[in-house]
Structure 1
Amino acid sequence: MSGVGELRGRVAGAMSALHQDGHLVLCDLLTPAACRDLRAELAPLLVPEGRDPFCSRHVRRVYGVLHNTRAVDALIDHPRVLPLIDRLLLPNYLLSQLEIVEVGVGAPLRPPGYDDQHYPLPRPRPPLSVAALWTLDPGTVVTVWPGSHRWSARRPTSPGTPLTPPPGSCTLLLGTLWHARPARSSAPCLSITARYCEPWLRTREAFTLSPGREVARQLSSRTRRMLGYSIHSPDTGLVDGMHPHRLLT
């Protein structure tokens, strides 16, 4: 099979699994050395435990990721991940949120939910967002309910299925998939999550305000479009009646 044919077959198989289960683990996208380097660069940026009033005191985060580091830029537009998201969301979809989280020992259960919950549209429906969870440490666990992305108003009533994505992997979660985080009793685990959404939605982070134009100029053209320097046809996202990309010239 040719390289192009092999790629198409791999993408088709991945899409079939995503539509069937609502999640997919892509292994071996980062080497062990790359995981170690990322952890070493990101660890000094983590906000001390207890600083976030919306989270457990056992959780540390990096805020303003793109403003503070270039370490994760290559994950946002990774060539093994975006071809799948291209088939799930409309052209010029947006980066909704970029999140770096370390879950420490003693972190409680995060109850079941789905990422699209804050969009007030009834289910069942296609997902409006997709999360890409990059795992850096062993022992990361995500509880999922396979097939729950097709549910209507139903909530999980039975135990979910634990996913243990290995370090260096990227786990895709459709925005309508019910999932949870079990309580943490072992060593801390660090992960990076990029959330993408349809181009006609409001993003969780206002990326055209922060990190600002100077940082945006340092990013790939694809990432700049995902930050909002793009147009959702025919005219959503204009600045003074013109394409917002001109702000970067």
Structure 2
Amino acid sequence: MTDKTLPEQHDFMSSGYARTYPSTAGTQEPVPAQRLDSLLEDLLRDGFVVLERLFDEQQVTRMREQLLAQLSPHTGRNAFEGLRTQRLYAVIAKTLACNPLVEHPLVLGLLDRILAPNYLLSQLQAINILPGEVAQSLHYDDAFYPMARPRPPYGAATVMAIDDFTEQNGATLVIPGSHLWDARLPTAAERAAARPVVMPRGSLVLFLGTLWHGGGANRSTAPRLALTAQYCEPWARQQENFSLSIPRHTVRQCSEHIQRLLGYSIHAPFMGMVNGMHPKRVLEESSEQGID
């Protein structure tokens, strides 16, 4: 390949060859760049950043009520999911009350700086750690993309405290700086020194997909409810298959931001097209035809 061919390749890869849709932009106010710069510095240094009290009591209470109403009494199928942990998948299909986490402007502002344009929501689930649950094995989220470390993250995640996160009730554990490691595993000393992310309800921790972390043990007498939204690069496979788990009539009730994050978007030049068309057009046409 010569320098002469590079501009041509660049033009092809950055152009939307699937027919464009008039607008997939969101309507939220942008976050001041100075605030994002400060948070991004912490995120890139430590691999995580805590955003305290991002949601008020009324919002958190509504989310909590909706999630608890949908949670199954069944617990995890294996030790990684948690044998004393309840999980609710495809949350958007069950309630729209948690959408504000998915598209919070501060979260999206940071994701805009670490992931490629048109990044996707990989999964949205509730995690309720019951009393007696043991600590989850430490891991990093984008390990299922088999690319050698050290490398940039191919995703990022938020974990929101629906209940207060304490050292006793299963606060998420993190190893600061581990996002920069090569392929090595944490030592016994590093595992033992993993830091609990203690934060009040309505707060969240955002961390890179290469950060070693895990759910903590719940040594309290009450469950600990959390909501996690995870994101991935636009070329990466999502963990949840939203095209099957979320009905189209529900997608239409979501904002432009969330429709894009669910995959109703194009990653140049034509990843995500439907019969050569932007998927938002198909979403509209199916509505007119009464297809849900």
- TM-score, normalisation: structure 1: 0.94
- Runs of 4 or more off by more than 4 Å in structure 1? none
- In 1, distance between residues paired with 2:194 and 2:143? 19
Secondary structure at 2:207 match in 1: strand
Query: Is 1:151 the counterpart of 2:178 in the alignment?
Result: no
Map 1:73-112 onto structure 2 (within 5 A).
Answer: 73-112=99-138
The answer for the alignment partner of 1:22 in structure 2 is 47
Matched, 1:53 2:77: yes
For residues 1-27 of structure 1, what are the alpha-carbon distances to aligned partners after superposition, in whole Å with 9 as ceiling and x for unaligned? xxx998211110000000000000011
* Amino acid across the alignment from 1:144: V
Matched, 1:227 2:262: yes
Of residues 177, 195, 199 in structure 1, which corresponds to 2:211? 177
- Matches of 1:104 and 1:208, distance apart in 2: 31
Distance 2:195 2:204 in 1: 17
CA contact (8 A) 1:49 1:57 kept: no
Give yes or no for the alignment of 1:196 onto 2:231: yes
Indicate if the aligned counterparts of 2:165 and 2:197 stay in contact, CA closer than 8 A. no
Classify the secondary structure of the residue corresponding to 1:34: helix
Deviation of the 1:30 alpha carbon: 0.9
Q: 2:142 aligns with which of 116, 128, 131?
A: 116
User: Which residue in the other structure is 2:38 paired with?
Assistant: 13
SS at match of 2:138: strand
Offset at 1:28?
1.5
Matched, 1:208 2:234: no
Residues 87 and 106 of structure 1, relative CA distance in 2, 3 Å threshold = same
Return the offset for 1:113.
Answer: 0.2
Q: Which residue of 2 aligns with 1:132?
A: 158
Higher mean alpha-carbon deviation, 149-158 vs 30-39, is at 30-39
Bigger radius of gyration: 2
Choose between structure 1 and 2: higher strand proportion. 1
Matched, 1:240 2:275: yes
- Secondary structure of 2:210's aligned partner: coil
Cα 1:6–1:82 change in 2 (3 A) is closer
* Cα deviation, residue 31, structure 1: 1.3
Q: Equivalents in 2 of 1:37, 1:5: separation in Å?
A: 25
- Corresponding residue pairs, total: 245
Q: CA RMSD in A?
A: 1.6
Give the AA of the match of 2:33: R
CA contact (8 A) 1:61 1:99 kept: yes
Contact 1:208 1:229 in 2 (8 A): no
Among 24, 43, 68, the residue aligned to 1:43: 68
Give unpaired runs (5+ residues) of structure 2.
1-28, 285-292
Equivalents in 2 of 1:18, 1:188: separation in Å?
29
CA distance in 1, matches of 2:275, 2:126: 34
Report sequence identity in percent.
43
Of Structure 1 and Structure 2, the greater helix share is in 2
Counterpart AA for 1:12: D
**8 Å contact 2:123–2:230 — kept in the other structure?**
yes
